[in-house]
Structure 1
Amino acid sequence: MEKNLNQLIKLSQKFGQNPDYIIAGGGNSSYKDQDKMWVKASGTSMANIDENGFVCLDREKMQVLSQKEYSNDATTREQEVKQDLHNAILFPEGKRPSVEASMHEVIQYAFIMHTHPTLVNGVLCANDSKEVIASMFGDDVVYVPYTDPGYVLFKEVVRALNKYKEEKGKEAQIIFLENHGVFVGADTCEEIEDIYAEIDEKLKSASKTNPLENNSSDNQELSSIASQISLGDGTDTVYKVVDNSDLVSFFVKDELSFSKVSIPFTPDNIVYCKSKYLYLKEDGSDINERIESFKSLAGYYPKVVAIEGKGLVCIEENMNSAQIVLDVYKDMMKVSFLSESFGGPRPMTQEQIDFIDNWEVENYRRKISKQSK
């Protein structure tokens, strides 16, 4: 068992340290034997994960998630599911398993790696995603249309996996989740790496464009604008990072360009950057007045402020969190850029956004991620 867990740790670190696959506390991984499953703890970063970053679950107790009838009320249902998931924890106490632990349980391979690759989401967040995946992978993969994360998505994945097994006579190894990411399962870590390499190769060959160079330069004007920002809620210190790379400049050159990154594509975009972003023209208006106006409408201060023709300013309560906001938002820009090869960007709907904004599970993940400074 120790050997397999060590292999999972190394695999998790490898993917977690590559921002093309995972940023901050995103993604999750697992190993299971006949009786137990070790799955990444919610909000834990895979980049430096060790054995303490996993929660061990009783697989027999996990079966209730597939068998039990839960409430039709979304809030009540998710609380019931969270409790049943908690009841399956063997150790350690004080940590939550990944919200997607139930999906790791039903994918019938020893090792599972779930990531949010930029290249993959460039397809999965595009208008023609389903057709593109079918043309490249045929019926060798499972494609799941966007479904609210949690129990509802779990049940949809179970349905899709059962259908695949009935038709193919074997278990699916690749599950694409629309506007979300991909699950890959195998009985060895080496095979998981091989499958991901194959996915990358196919998608790169189909992409007509590549994200612009990620070369931010020192911009005193943008830094000066950022230094003027203060929040009117009594916060003594806010941390800001700025960026004016070619990628950012492409999307902040005018409002039309910014409209393509003005709505989140995936749940992680919302978890780390929230769902609304402030776009500012240099029209002589006071930047802090605009920020306060944004707060009165959105209910929160912006984490992402785009300055037309200048760049991005990302705001958070500590420097690490501010950098994560920038990293996630730039990844969102890359996804939008890549999606142009596959029918153009398809952001989340307002209903989908509202679910994530109000979901306690994701608020918990955001909180835990911020504690990892």
Structure 2
Amino acid sequence: MTQPSAPAPAPREQLVARSNRLGSDPRVTNYAGGNTSAKGVETDPVTGEPVELVWVKGSGGDLGTLTEKNLAVLRLDRLRALTGVYPGVEREDEMVAAFDYCLHGKGGAAPSIDTAMHGLVDAPHVDHLHPDSGIAIATSADGERLTSEIFGDRVVWVPWRRPGFQLGLDIAAIKAANPQAIGCILGGHGITAWGEDSDEVEARSLEIIRTAEQAIDAATAALAERGEHPFGPVRPGFEALPDDERRRRAAALAPVVRGLASADRPQVGHVTDSEVVLDFLSREKLARLAELGTSCPDHFLRTKVKPLVVDLPADAPLEDVVARLRELHEAYRADYAGYYERNAEPGSPAMRGADPAIVLVPGVGMFSFGKDKQTARVAGEFYVNAINVMRGAEALSTYAPIDEREKFRIEYWALEEAKLQRMPAPKPLATRVAVVTGAASGIGKAIAERLAAEGACVVVADLDAEKARAAAAEIGTSDVAVGIAADVTDEAAVAAMIDAACLAFGGVDLVVNNAGLSISKPLLETTTRDWDLQHDVMARGSFLVAREAARAMIAQRLGGDIVYIASKNSLFAGPNNIAYSATKADQAHQVRLLAAELGEHGIRVNGINPDGVVRGSGIFAGGWGAQRAAVYGVDEQDLGAYYAQRTLLKKEVLPEHVAAAVVALTGPDLVQTTGLHVPVDSGVAAAFLR
């Protein structure tokens, strides 16, 4: 008996699968770039009659991770009927609101500005993508001629037009007039392809992309045969520095650059030193091409219209590079303000900030910035796309992006402003970069988790590298937390820890000196090794961490927070605890000393005095609990309850209570507080601050 064949996937299911395939290939489109659609028929649940629908990727979605809930679903008859009320290109933005009257069913994503393109083009399946190779043709000075030479009549040139309803009408007309065509090159923008089914449109999209790649490869090879390069010859002295030297310099420059990029509002940073970037920075055409800026709207909305470029050789003295960065930053801000003033019209959104999103340093790499780590990283990825586009355009012809006026119309588009206004409010510690020592367990882990939950990027530092990485992975992706090994007693290791934070997130804003241990012994049994070990980890370690963190914070010029996890024992004279209590008293006085010294730099230094944190504590689990239980004559498992009963509040102190105190001290509510010690001990009268 023949088994019935499985039903064909529904159009929306085909669309999601196709989108995920296309979005997973960086040669096809960039993160959150492009959109795809499918048309089909379903039964209207109200009338019971068939209704034509279009499913299209919604506003702000990403093709690689697209699901059905990220699709906007519209009635095709109503969408196409909008052509009868279209008021013209001067008022085309009004059509976005009209899309809401075409929606079908509940839920789904908000329709994007490109919805018209997908609905008006007479094809069941449409792809609009931003491949580097396609944009290279789209931004070439003679893109129309190149399109004809490379594709014949299979792909049609569409002159630049800002995305919107009119562009949808243009492409629909071009497809109708060119029945042999499989798609088009959109000047200054990207590509669009269409097909009768999902497989056909995907194949056509890939055909356009691969054909463009082959043309660029051939042109690049022809240049190479003549000893030439699309970006010109290498400039002597601008070549990439050796790996170790390059990373050291990047770590030293990162806080400086981040501070400059945060003049208007705090930013998180990302460093890219890939071969693609370093080669571009070494070439003769760097200055000219960087000044022209990016072209594809998806690019410059994330990278700004152009980067800040350091014009010094790779091996210039570090202090000269820093001084030049500060000069260039002032010039960049003035230039950007001029760009805004030249192009702003009555009703334009206010200038959002004049700082660069991309900073290029020859020999070192690219620093990119955003409101969080993912945004900063993606900005860098988009500028790599822009480099690839410029290389392709210069191989084929001459790079000629859309003009300044058109860039401004995109960047300060009312629709983009509305999208920004819909973004959720940032969390209290958003943009802050935190380093927590001893963070793989206990109090340190609770602090790291809470800081991340409040929006901070977190470096989980611990003597045990594997545990540090595991703790960071529990907190989130590498855009949120990274785990590194750090021996706080080792000067070089501490410097490397701060360097790692600068390379991971651009700098350091918040440091928690939490690493510690304890050995409970009477005076006569306490050895010099016991004494030295505890002082090395907590007194010396806190000093080293604070010093290196302050160095980075001062370079940033953004202020900062240093928090010491001291102890009730810094004040309370308990039995059999000479080494631990003495080193905690050392830490407590470091708080006062550094608060007095670092205040002029806007760096606040505060301390927390916990007590009786047994549950989840690495110190107590490592033998300290058994020792203290023996001193007090209770079972180790009852130690937490014992500590609670001797407090005024009669409540056990947990790691998360200490973490809450860290957030209170470093959040937005106590910004005028420094030199303070906060007890987190449920009330121990003998440890009251006097």
Do they fold alike, i.e. is TM over 0.5? yes
1:29 to 1:92, Cα distance in 2 relative to 1, 3 A? farther
1:305 to 1:164, Cα distance in 2 relative to 1, 3 A? same
- My pick for the range that moved more, 333-342 or 275-284, is 275-284
Cα distance per residue 1:270-325 (max 9 Å; x no partner): 22112132112354516456435533542422110112332210011111111110
1:290 to 1:346, Cα distance in 2 relative to 1, 3 A? closer
Q: 2:37 aligns with which of 30, 33, 37?
A: 30
Query: 2:208 maps to which residue?
Result: 199
Amino acid at match of 1:243: T
- Match status 1:245 vs 2:283: no
Amino acid at match of 1:295: R
Contact 2:290–2:306 (8 Å) recurs in 1: no
- Match status 1:232 vs 2:263: yes
- Match status 1:109 vs 2:126: no
Matches within 5 A, 1:175-186: 175-186=184-195
Report SS of the residue matched to 2:59: coil
Separation of aligned partners in 2, 1:223 and 1:92: 49
Cα distance per residue 1:193-247 (max 9 Å; x no partner): 32233324422332222899xxx96622123211222123463xx3211122232
Q: Matched residue pairs, number?
A: 359
Report SS of the residue matched to 2:63: coil
Tell me the CA shift for residue 187 of structure 1.
2.2
- Match status 1:160 vs 2:214: no
Report SS of the residue matched to 1:348: coil
Q: 2:372 aligns with which of 304, 312, 318?
A: 318
Query: 2:430 maps to which residue?
Result: none
Cα distance per residue 1:327-367 (max 9 Å; x no partner): 00000000100112221211111121121012133345567
Query: 1:294 maps to which residue?
Result: 332
Report SS of the residue matched to 1:127: coil
Tell me the CA shift for residue 78 of structure 1.
3.6
**Residue segments in structure 2 that go unaligned for 5+ positions in a row:** 1-7, 42-51, 222-229, 232-241, 313-319, 337-352, 427-478, 480-690
- Match status 1:143 vs 2:157: yes
Q: 2:23 aligns with which of 1, 16, 19?
A: 16
Q: 2:294 aligns with which of 244, 264, 268?
A: 264
1:281 to 1:258, Cα distance in 2 relative to 1, 3 A? closer
Tell me the CA shift for residue 153 of structure 1.
1.8
Tell me the CA shift for residue 175 of structure 1.
2.0
- Match status 1:188 vs 2:197: yes
1:43 to 1:187, Cα distance in 2 relative to 1, 3 A? same
1:260 to 1:126, Cα distance in 2 relative to 1, 3 A? same
**Residue segments in structure 1 that go unaligned for 5+ positions in a row:** none
Cα distance per residue 1:68-115 (max 9 Å; x no partner): 24156x3xx144211211211224458421211111112222221111
Amino acid at match of 1:124: A
Query: 1:6 maps to which residue?
Result: 13
- My pick for the range that moved more, 140-149 or 87-96, is 87-96
Report SS of the residue matched to 2:11: helix
Report SS of the residue matched to 1:47: helix
Separation of aligned partners in 1, 2:72 and 2:60: 12
Contact 1:126–1:339 (8 Å) recurs in 2: yes
CA RMSD, aligned part only?
A: 2.8
Instruction: Detail structure 1 runs of 4+ shifted over 6 Å in the superposition.
Output: 366-371
Separation of aligned partners in 1, 2:176 and 2:334: 47
Amino acid at match of 1:127: A
Report SS of the residue matched to 1:64: helix
Tell me the CA shift for residue 61 of structure 1.
1.2
Query: 1:64 maps to which residue?
Result: 81
Amino acid at match of 1:187: E
Report SS of the residue matched to 2:220: coil
1:103 to 1:186, Cα distance in 2 relative to 1, 3 A? same
- My pick for the range that moved more, 307-316 or 248-257, is 248-257
Q: 2:62 aligns with which of 24, 33, 45?
A: 45
* Matched-pair identity in %: 22
